[in-house]
Amino acid sequence: MPHPHDAPAAKPPMSFPMKLLLFTALGLALLIALIVALYIVSAARLSSGTVNIARNYAAEINEQYTKPDAEDPAWPHYLDAFAYIIDRDSPARLVYELDLTPDQPAAATFREWLAENPGYREALLTGASRPATGFRISDAENPLYAERFGRYVDKEPSENPILINTLLPQLGMMRDFTRTLRAHAALAIADGRPDIFLEDVRAMLAIAEHSAQPPMVISQIVRYAMISHVHDTVCRAIHRSPEHFDDASLNELARLLDRIDLDSLTPSLTVERMSFEDILQRAFTDDGQGDGRITAEGIELISTVMFDMNPGVLEKQMMPLVAGFYPSRAEALARFNMFADAIEKRASQPVHERAHDPTIDDIEVESRLFGMLEIDLAIMFLPSFNRMLVMGEHSKQMVIATRAAVALERFRRDHVHYPATLDELVPDFLDTLPIDRATGGPLVYRLDNNTPILYSVGLNYTDNGGDHNHLSWMRWLPPEELARRLQLDPVPDNLPTGDWVYYPPPPPPSRGN
């Protein structure tokens, strides 16, 4: 029997598993407490942040580019023209995808429709002659458009709309205008009316300029497509009906093409920069020094604008945690401008001067690394620029080639034969040699049975003997990267191949290609 003053027996020591469990529980409790504390602090900081919408970018763009308050602008006349073709069953739409010739059934239908609707072309020519479009960009249905066509307006335009949400209904109708003018020009020159042909080409060029007001990326891409229509229209007319051009009309056509400013075809991200800054002013606080932090309404705005997703209750509860992954306002803007500067620098260079630039060519890898730490707003808002860069460069190439095609015909008129080399066109018919912007040298030119062939070697930098392929100006890669990929796959599906023949014009690609 133990003595009453004996010390109690010692407790057995805590086992290692129990110690581990205790420390794990304490660690988890501390971690949870830390997360809760951070959540509370972040939630309080997020809810206290307010935005300062200081600039109305849409109003600035309207004032600078579209000039809605101009006297007698193009927009009302374009609406008059669109009224003739808004019906999906309009016969005018039959010629949209055609390389129209007088012997086609659609030509007779189109002629009949034009005779019954002379106001269509009159309205087009009037609108094209105006310097300003007069279209007001907005986030609601254009009031003049809605009134003219009886559209229901379900919302009033915002006084200061989010720039990225503005509507551009004029682009679709301007594209349709160019298609009908192209068809009309083809019939006009076949009928021996170079004067009418020149009116149509002049209007096509003016509408192309109007389409790029304001110069958003999508607007510029539409303009490039219209320039390709002009190129195709002119080259097919000269090839098929040279006898219907007198010397005066050919000279006027040359002057018309010379007035195209190639620099104006250089892709610009001016409006995209404004769109990004507009998002920043609506999503971040403003410390007055160009910096700030993300706000709750900013996270919601970005989710809505970029992902078309309205955050629910759960997503809103997660916002304080998500906020920590957003960059600061200054960091986001600096990163976007870094990319935009690199893109515009490349846009200003002819293809043959372009080289690998890790800022934009390694953008996917670099973005993944950056995205591990922060939400990459710059990449989210950056437009798809590679296609734009190729289209901008090729539109310049098409203008150069079209000028050369007209010069070849003018030379033939004066000398009864085509030149042996392009050098003979300078300086009487061209100011400079027509350059292949893919190589920096002149376009490839030769005579085949006394018929001129004019082409670019395309973006595979290889002369394929004039084997035309619409994929030749599809995609740009640095020469060393192109060579590496061709070694891996000599017949790839996603790389440029063949040449681009400008004259004589090749058959158009089949619809859907």
Tell me the per-residue pLDDT of 48-88, one tens digit each, with 9 for 90 and over: 789 999 999 999 999 999 998 899 999 999 999 999 999 88
CA angle 214, 402, 219 (to 5 degrees): 15
- The pLDDT score that the predictor gives to residue 83 is 93
Backbone angles phi, psi at 87, to 5 degrees: -65, 125
The mean pLDDT of 407-428, rounded to a whole number, is: 97
Order the strands of the 500-503 sheet from edge to edge.
444-448, 451-456, 500-503
The mean pLDDT of 188-197, rounded to a whole number, is: 97
313 strand-pairing partners: none
Neighbours of 25 (CB within 10 A): 10
pLDDT at 8 over 50: yes
Q: What percentage of the chain reaches a pLDDT higher than 70?
A: 89
pLDDT in tens, 453-488: 999 999 999 999 999 999 999 999 888 888 888 888
User: Does the predicted model carry a pTM greater than 0.85?
Assistant: yes
pLDDT band with cut points at 50, 70 and 90 for residue 510: low
pLDDT at 384 over 80: no
Q: Which residue has the higher pLDDT, 125 or 308?
A: 125
Q: Could you write out the DSSP letters of every residue in 158-221?
A: PSS--GGG-B-THHHHHHHHHHHHHHHHHHHHHTT-HHHHHHHHHHHHHHHHHHTSS--HHHHH
Mark residue 380 as left, alpha or beta (left: phi above 0; alpha: psi -120 to 50; beta: remaining).
alpha
